[in-house]
Structure 1
Amino acid sequence: MNQIPSIAVTDLPDDALVVDCREPDEWAAGHAEGALHLPLGDIPARVDELPSTDRSLPIICRSGGRSGRAVQWLVQQGFDVVNVEGGMKAWEAAGKPMTSEDGQAPRVL
């Protein structure tokens, strides 16, 4: 397997634009502020929704597995993307800003 390009949570600015590929219930419980929600299974059909940026686009999930698969596929399609090491678990542990959609305090499911 090819090496998947990745980035540490601590190397991302707090307001980084990240693509969250978790499921809707995980997203609702807590996600990075300003993140774009594209569930893993929807990425091939919604790839045109990926924002264009002048740097690598971080892809995040809960712990790095699903986002790693997304990054691997997107790289094959020619996108400049990186896997966020440790996912939202690492994001939360680093104290980075989070928001929720369910009225409760943001958390990682």
Structure 2
Amino acid sequence: MLEITAVELKQRLKNNENLVIIDVREDWEYDEVNLGVRNIPLGDLPQRLEELPDKQTEIIVHCQSGRRSGQAQKYLTQQGYSKVISLKGGIEAYLRHA
């Protein structure tokens, strides 16, 4: 499983890299705190694949703690997406390193 740490993600954002980041938490969780990225809840992912870029593009997925993003990563990989990376520790880790 490919993972990125909160520190690595923050550095890539600081470097203004053009990243595709998907928040797979529920809408209400996203509304409480978010990184300003696209929100596609894990349960909606199968019906919303057309919103994702091509299957060769790197996609970073995150959730609250890392469990759901791991599930999203597994699902997307099964669908043929080759560069899916999960944020280790989720948004909780990201906020701890703010």
TMscore range, shorter length: 0.7 to 0.9
* Aligned CA-pair RMSD: 1.7
The alpha-carbon deviation at position 45 of structure 1 amounts to: 0.5
Query: Counterpart of 2:80?
Result: 78
Residues 45 and 86 of structure 1: is their aligned pair in 2 closer, same or farther, counting only changes over 3 Å? Answer: same
> Which structure shows the higher helix fraction?
2
Q: 2 CA distance for matches of 1:27 and 1:63?
A: 13
Q: 2 CA distance for matches of 1:22 and 1:58?
A: 13
The alpha-carbon deviation at position 70 of structure 1 amounts to: 0.4
Structure 1 segments (4+ residues) deviating >6 Å: none
Residues 59 and 25 of structure 1: is their aligned pair in 2 closer, same or farther, counting only changes over 3 Å? Answer: same
Deviation string 1:2-22 (CA, Å, 9 cap, x unpaired) is xx2111111112364310000
1:12-23 aligned within 5 A: 12=9, 13-14=12-13, 16-23=19-26
Note if contact 2:55-2:80 (Cα within 8 Å) is conserved in structure 1.
Answer: no
Residue-pair matches, total:
91
Deviation string 1:75-101 (CA, Å, 9 cap, x unpaired) is 111112111000000111111xxxxxx
Q: 2 CA distance for matches of 1:52 and 1:93?
A: 32
Query: Counterpart of 1:31?
Result: 34
Residues 32 and 52 of structure 1: is their aligned pair in 2 closer, same or farther, counting only changes over 3 Å? Answer: farther
Note if contact 1:18-1:32 (Cα within 8 Å) is conserved in structure 2.
Answer: no
| Percent pairwise identity | 33
Note if contact 2:64-2:92 (Cα within 8 Å) is conserved in structure 1.
Answer: yes
Residues 49 and 27 of structure 1: is their aligned pair in 2 closer, same or farther, counting only changes over 3 Å? Answer: same
Note the residue ranges of structure 2 that are not aligned, 5 or more in a row.
Answer: none
Note the residue ranges of structure 1 that are not aligned, 5 or more in a row.
Answer: 96-109
Letter in 2 for 1:76: Q
* TM-score of the pair, normalised by structure 1: 0.75
